[in-house]
Amino acid sequence: MNPEGKWSCEYCTYENFPTALKCTMCRGAKPLRSSEDIYRLKADESSKGAASEPRRWMCGACNQVNTNEDKCSSCFSRPPSDIASQIAAANLAEQLQRTRISDCSAASTKGVPLAGKWSCSVCTYENWPKSKKCIMCGASAAVAPTIRLSPSRSNSSAVTPTRQPSPEVLDHTLNEECTLIKNPGNNYEYDRRRREVDWGWLNACKGVVDGDPAPVAAYLSAGGSPTRTLSPAEVQILSRDSAFDVGHTLVHLAIRFQREDMVAMLVSSIDGGSSSGLKRVPSYIAPELASSIRRHATTIFNTKHSRPVPFPFVTEFTTFVLPSDIEDLPAAVQEQLFDELLDKDVQQQLEMEPAVINWSVEITVQLGSRLHALWNRSQGDCLLDSLMQATWGVFDRDSLLRRALADSLSHGAHVLYPRWLESEAVQARQLEFTLSEAQWAEDWAALVKRATQPGASLQQLHVFALAHVLRRPIIVYGVKFVKSFRGEDLGYAGFEGVYLPLLWEPSFCTVSPLALGYTRGHFSALVPIESSTPLLAHPSGVKSKTIALDDNVSSVCYLPLVDKDRKLLPIHFLTKQEMGTEERLLRKWLDVSVTDGGLLVALQRAPRPPLLVAQMLEEWLNHYRSLAQMSRTPYSNVIPPHEFSSDGETDDE
């Protein structure tokens, strides 16, 4: 009651005068809120006597208080046979009214309606007993508890519960309502809050925790943002404090619960492009083996500094290639494998006109040296990740190469800085501008700082330094111009070319290079598929050099040293004395041959993979072998493996 003595209608919330027995707006009955109302009923009935007609009585079907009427003014039901049943109904009405306005902590009585009505489990609207569906939201009454007060009985059994839901259904409904809205207010507010809940987003969060990628993929395909954070209300709705925290994104949840396949899908979705989707690179299928490989990689670095070249360097050479068993899989499974392994966006950019890779039919088809761009994380460490992929087949999660890079620039500045300064000065003269010594020193300090900061983008100098850390040449096949999203040229890229470890002695390095691809601000590892046929000492199409093979070499890939216009790829960071001798330097540092078509190529010899890498690839292949097994019917014939090849799928790639 308010200070003026008015009472609020429980159906439309209209404030009525104290003497009104019905709501002026909706004709709803005045609620019995206090013991005075019940005492007044008792006094009225006792004054008339048991045999006399009651002066005021409450209808058991619709809870309407009537005065000197033979029938209820609302539902035309007859009055009860004696006063005892009427008082029991009044007491029950008061108890149910108190239960309805209590807090959600009394969940055991949540949803219990007033006499004769049932409360909708969806919107909490109280419907009449004969309603089979809620008149507000259309929900069925099957799961709602219905309590019927029969006016024809005078004993305590007049309260007859019907259609009781199971305890599990009732508890789930009550918990959900209490979690969503502690103070429901009216039906409109409750419906509004439920409509505002993004169940697709919450199901994606639950999917990450439960390891189910389907709701995550559905959320992303519907345009959901992977960077969206959980709000306090959403954490309360999920009601799992041990799993969900305010401010967490799907990426946080995937990392926390070690869902590496979902991390790949979410990160690729953040990057955008056609590469979004579920990624299953070998290190994600076998995370334990990938961790063991990274731990082993830390043991092959020599960090002792010695003059005149104080670089940390590797003591073991490895080259990652895709296993030839891929070609034994059915075409549909091969397509799925490449979708989940490769970066189709990068592959398309490097192969579109003017093509940067796979532009020679002689190299790709006759010599079987087609290059594939592996999917890579785009978090500022793509250069380091791509080099680890090209050597060990894993990502540089432990920042092993970044630490070695920072160490190289810090302790090897006295040999790196002169070559960098001379190269930059040549480019500055070509662009007709000059810098002071202070400006050159400032630019060098910025490059050194970038090497120490995780996630910072790297430049040509860093690729040159990493060639010395890995003790082998690095060939970068990159776009010549960086383009905008509308296809406009933004500037010269400058990454394409050959990076030789010129500060080492050639005998201290391997002649087998690594191949990387560069697109708009992103590096990718370019790897071939291992040849499924035995290597020949004199492969068809290559002349001028005999290939020496041993038992440790599994395959040979031919990497072009010229572009599509047959121009020699540039060699970075040459001194003034070395300029003009590019082809001689290539033959000195690389195993160079010439094809029948006159193309200058470098031979990349892939040794047999280390045991841990072989085990990781085998576990990764077993995933797709099982898919192929499930796709075959019991009566299908096994097709010979040589009938399957990835060479015919280049247009889609």
In a domain, 71, yes or no: yes
Note whether 454 and 579 are same-domain residues.
yes
Query: What confidence tier does 93 reach under pLDDT thresholds 50, 70, 90?
Result: low
What mean pLDDT is predicted for residues 581-604?
95
At 457 the pLDDT is: 84
- How confident is the model at residue 238, as a pLDDT? 84
Domain boundary among 137, 162, 187: 162
| pLDDT bracket for residue 120 (50, 70, 90) | confident
CB 500 within 8 A of CB 569: no
**Structure confidence at residue 500 (pLDDT):** 97
The pLDDT of residue 625 is 92
**pLDDT over 60 (residue 110):** no
Structural domain includes residue 651: no
Same domain, 151 and 59: yes
What is the rounded distance in angstroms from the CA atom of residue 363 to the CA atom of residue 372? 14
Please give the average per-residue pLDDT across 85-101, as a whole number.
Answer: 52
How far is CA 448 from its chain centroid?
33
- Both 555 and 429 in one domain: the answer is yes
Say how many C-beta atoms besides its own lie within 10 A of residue 619's C-beta: 14
Q: Are residues 404 and 268 in the same domain?
A: no
Summary mean pLDDT of the chain: 76
pLDDT at 526: 97
Same domain flag for 424 and 502: yes
Q: What pLDDT was estimated at residue 69?
A: 59
Rg of the chain in Å (alpha carbons): 39
CATH number of the domain to which 270 belongs: 1.25.40.560
DSSP 604: E
Q: How far apart are CA 353 and CA 356, in angstroms?
A: 8
pLDDT of residue 176: 46
Q: How confident is the model at residue 131 (pLDDT cuts 50, 70, 90)?
A: confident
pLDDT at 299: 93
Domain tally for the chain?
A: 4
Q: Indicate whether 495 and 627 sit together in one domain.
A: yes
Query: Which one is predicted more confidently, 632 or 276?
Result: 632
Residue 446, domain member (yes or no): yes
CA distance 191 to 180: 11
pLDDT at res. 248: 85
> Does residue 480 surpass a pLDDT of 50?
yes
What is residue 48's predicted lDDT score, i.e. its pLDDT?
45
pLDDT tier at 538, thresholds 50, 70, 90: very low
Higher pLDDT, 544 or 20: 20
Angle between helices 437-452 and 400-411 (to 10 degrees): 150
**What pLDDT is stored for residue 39 in this prediction?**
52
Q: Which residues of 62-75 are buried (b: 16+ CB within 10 A; e: fewer)?
A: bbbbbeeeeebbbe
> Would you place residue 225 in the very low, low, confident or very high pLDDT band (cuts 50, 70, 90)?
confident
**Strand ranges in 123-254 using DSSP code E only, listed in sequence order:** 126-127, 146-149, 159-162
Residue 445 has pLDDT above 70, yes or no: yes
Please say if the pLDDT value at position 442 is more than 80.
yes
Q: Is 127 contained in some domain?
A: yes
DSSP structure class, residue 136:
T
Tell me what the mean pLDDT of segment 489-499 comes to. 82
* Active-site annotation holder among 23, 134, 205, 382: 382
Which tokens belong to 407? 């160490």
Same structural domain, 598 and 544: yes
pLDDT of residue 639: 45
Domain presence at residue 439: yes
Among 2-6, 64-68, 359-363, the range scoring the smallest mean pLDDT is: 64-68
Domain identity same for 268 and 130: no
pLDDT over 70 (residue 195) = no
Q: What's the pLDDT at 9? A: 85
DSSP codes joined into one string, 376-398: ---SS-HHHHHHHHHHHSS--TT
Confidence of residue 181 (pLDDT cuts 50, 70, 90): very low
Long-range pairs for 70-75 at CB < 8 Å and ≥24 separation? 74/27, 74/29
DSSP character at residue 55: S
Exposure string (b/e) for 378-389, b if CB count within 10 Å is 16 or more? bebbbbbbbbbb
Domain range for 14:
1-27
Q: Which of 501, 460, 466, 500 is nearest to 478 (CA)?
A: 460
Tokens matching residue 74 = 């609302």
DSSP letter string, 444-505:
HHHHHHHHHSTT----HHHHHHHHHHHTS-EEEEE-SEEE-TTS-EEEE----EEE--TTS-
Tell me the backbone φ, ψ of residue 7, rounded to 5 degrees: -115, 145
Q: What are phi and psi of 21, to 5 degrees?
A: -90, -15
* Amino acid identity at 132: K
Q: Answer whether residue 57 is part of any domain.
A: yes
d(CA 41, CA 35): 10
312 and 335 together in one domain: yes
Q: How do residues 30-63 score in pLDDT, each as one tens digit? A: 876 554 555 555 555 455 444 444 456 667 666 6
Beta strand pairing status for 514-519 and 474-478?
Answer: parallel
* CB-neighbour burial class of residue 273 (10 A; exposed 0-12, middle 13-18, buried 19+): middle
pLDDT greater than 60 at residue 461: yes
Q: Are 559 and 606 in contact, with CB atoms under 8 Å apart? A: no
In terms of domains, do 22 and 46 share one?
no
Question: Which range has highest mean pLDDT (69-83, 233-247, 297-311)?
Answer: 233-247
| Confidence band of 92 (pLDDT split at 50, 70, 90) | low
Instruction: Report pLDDT digits (tens) over 502-531.
Output: 999 999 999 999 999 999 888 999 999 997
The DSSP symbol for 9 reads: -
**Tell me, what DSSP letter sits at residue 109?**
G
**pLDDT at res. 3:** 55
pLDDT confidence bin for 199, thresholds 50/70/90:
confident
Read off the tokens for 606: 């892939």
Q: What is the CATH number of the domain that holds 548?
A: 3.90.70.80
Higher per-residue pLDDT: 103 or 312: 312
Q: What is the pLDDT of residue 499?
A: 97
| pLDDT tens for each residue of 417-440 | 999 999 999 888 887 888 888 999
Whether 649 is in a domain gets the answer no
Tell me which residue has tokens 């639950």: 206
Both tokens assigned to 133: 């569906």
Q: Is the dihedral angle over the CA atoms 63, 69, 72, 77 positive or is it negative?
A: positive
Residues 564 and 596 in one domain: yes
Which amino acid, 552?
Answer: N
Q: What is the dihedral of CA 263, 269, 271, 275, to 10 degrees?
A: 100
Closest C-alpha to 520, from 548, 551, 489, 561: 489
Distance (Å, whole) CA 133 – CA 18: 34
Active site residue 75: no
**pLDDT for the residue numbered 56:** 63
Q: Active-site residue 522, yes or no?
A: yes
Buried b (16+ CB within 10 A) or exposed e, 11-45: eeeeebeeeeebbeeeebbbbbbeeebbeebeeeb
Tell me, yes or no, whether 501 lies in a domain: yes
Band (pLDDT 50/70/90 cuts) for residue 70 is: low
Does residue 622 share a domain with residue 474?
Answer: yes
CA distance 522 to 384: 11
Burial of 561 (0-12, 13-18, 19+ CB in 10 A): buried
Among residues 23, 522, 557, 572, which one is catalytic?
A: 522
3-state DSSP: the chain helix, strand, coil percent, rounded to 5?
40, 15, 45
